[in-house]
Amino acid sequence: MTRIATTAAHAPLDHVQPADTAITGSAAAVQYIAEGCLVDGPLGRIGLELEAHCFDPADPFRRPGWDELNDVLKWIGPLPGGSVITMEPGGAVELSGPPAVGVPSAIDGMRRDQAVLRSTLAEAGLGLVFLGADPLRPPERVNPGARYRAMEEFFAASDSGAAGAAMMTSTASIQINLDAGPRAGWATRVWLAHALGPTMIAIAGNSPMLAGEFTGWQSTRQWVWGQMDSARCGPILGASGVDPGTDWARYALKAPVMMVRSADAGDNVAVTHYVPFADWADGRVLLGNRRPTIADLEYHLTTLFPPVRPRRWLEIRYLDTVPETVWPALAFTLTTLLDHPIAADLAAEAVEPVATAWDVAARVGLSDRRLHVAANRCLALATERAPAELMPAMEELMLNVETGRCPADDFSDRVIDNGIAATVARMAQGEM
């Protein structure tokens, strides 16, 4: 049976030091992170992770519970594309696909796994809704995991309590994982992965509502993340941008510790006062009455959520989840603009004027003239290189971009025409 896991299951950094090795200070922690966060090698592999909100079409205001979802999902056998099923704090369901060589292979595997998941949920009277933010229900945690209890406590003690609750339980994304590539190109590649963010957010924006209200943002998901502590969720690029490993290490050491795993059955204890990891590493503060270990540092890295996160590969985390007719085109576009050498150079020129326009992209999307120009250019570069089997999805996305629309516009129109509850119910039944 497929294991139903929480998203706390992250692969550890591949270092030779034992996990219980004590960290001698912040300088040692910086070195450890910088040397292990990216892996030198060729390009070509892609891993996809797709989240979707789970709804009961008969009562779209109801949030299916943890036991109810587990009782359904636990019977799914190994998925044909090799994805693992995980469940988010608010009950959103995620498929995490294995690394595949080439985008078409990754897309094909994910499509097959999505079909199995959809069919299984439908038999239980449930369905998936592909929106970047839950448009109807208030935030509520259903995943009882210790990690998420500690996260909830951490956010409640900070200035980002409401945003933290919404982030945990009401947002859903597409995550694209790509090889870091050859070491000589890391700085340029990491810069481009960030610089593409605003343009891709404008193209993919698909969350105009949250908890029953229009927010005035095309990507409310990105707005929610923008309300979080920038030391944990902001971009990682440093002033020079010439050494991504060092930039990431400094970012991680400045970020506050969210939780500490105790010796009791791996429990998680929230840190409800501001303690940068550097202070713990240097012994200025003791958490759990001790200095941190390598395992503590690795776990700390899993609690940092920048839009592009180095995890030996590049984790690109800034896309709203979108309908099944569109996400393959988004995955192909972003991968092509980063992995194809000619397309990457041309894309860098196209997006440079809007490389830091994160809030503008999330708020108005393609209504911004500069983002509209950049989006059309980027999509044209990708479409020129798309295989025939992806052309229907690429053409649908191209039409949207040319007319200045994103998926949020389509959803908003449906809500205005049919009402929010009816729209969500029909989407959960696969009718929209």
Task: Give the domain CATH number at 200.
Answer: 3.30.590.20
**Residues 100, 102, 105, CA angle at the centre, nearest 5°?**
65
Q: Answer yes or no: is 93 within a domain.
A: yes
Grouping H, G, I as helix, E, B as strand and the rest as coil, residue 130 is coil
Q: Answer yes or no: is 106 within a domain.
A: yes
**Global model pTM greater than 0.75:** yes
Q: Answer yes or no: is 289 within a domain.
A: no
Domain interval for residue 315: 32-255+304-427
Q: Which residues contact 172 (CB under 8 A, 6 or more apart)?
A: 51, 52, 53, 88, 92, 130, 131, 132, 133, 134, 221, 320, 321
Q: How many domains does the chain divide into?
A: 1
Give the integer Cα–Cα distance in Å for 145 and 71: 17
Q: Please name the residue that has the structure tokens 């240097």.
A: 282
Q: Answer yes or no: is 113 within a domain.
A: yes
Q: Answer yes or no: is 358 within a domain.
A: yes
Q: Answer yes or no: is 10 within a domain.
A: no
Q: Answer yes or no: is 20 within a domain.
A: no
Q: Answer yes or no: is 420 within a domain.
A: yes
Give the integer Cα–Cα distance in Å for 391 and 382: 11
Distance linking the first and last C-alpha atoms of the chain: 31
CB burial string 150-161: b at 16+ within 10 A, e below: bbbbbbeebebe
Give the integer Cα–Cα distance in Å for 270 and 288: 11
Q: What are the pLDDT tens digits along the chain (432 aa)?
A: 333 433 333 333 344 467 788 999 999 999 999 999 999 999 999 999 999 999 999 999 999 999 999 999 998 999 999 999 999 999 999 999 999 999 999 999 999 999 999 999 999 999 999 999 999 999 999 999 999 999 999 999 988 889 999 999 999 999 999 999 999 999 999 999 999 999 999 999 999 999 999 999 999 999 999 999 888 999 987 655 678 999 999 999 999 999 998 766 467 899 999 999 999 999 999 999 999 999 999 999 999 999 999 999 999 999 999 999 999 999 999 999 999 999 999 999 999 999 999 999 999 999 999 999 999 999 999 999 999 999 999 999 999 999 999 999 999 999 999 999 999 999 999 987
